[in-house]
Amino acid sequence: MTDRQHALQQLREAGFSLDAFTEEQQEVLEELGPDELSLLLDIKSRLDEAGPDVQAHAEIAGGALF
């Protein structure tokens, strides 16, 4: 597995739905450096942790906050 494939695999394992990205966008993700990938995974993790709270607000406000 190349470093590029490894980056996409890590993103998949973190819950990224890569099928939602265009081929060009996936190429950008493949080219992320180690620090960029780590940052993106950290941000995703924090967003996931905040997910239930954000979802609850969206349900109460009818999504008006977004």
Phi then psi dihedrals of residue 9, to 5 deg: -65, -40
Cα–Cα distance measured from residue 10 to residue 53, given in angstroms and rounded to the nearest whole number: 25
Looking at the structure of the chain, the number of domains it has is: 1
Q: Which domain holds residue 18?
A: 3-61
Tell whether 66 is covered by a domain.
no
Q: What is the DSSP letter of 18?
A: G
pLDDT, tens digit, 9 for 90 and up, residues 41-60:
999 999 888 876 655 555 55
The pLDDT tens digits for 11-49 are: 999 999 999 999 999 999 999 999 999 999 999 999 888
pLDDT for residue 63 is more than 80: no
* Helix, strand, coil abundance in the chain, percent, nearest 5: 75, 0, 25
Q: Please check whether residue 43 lies inside any domain of the structure.
A: yes
Cα separation, 59 vs 16, whole angstroms: 23
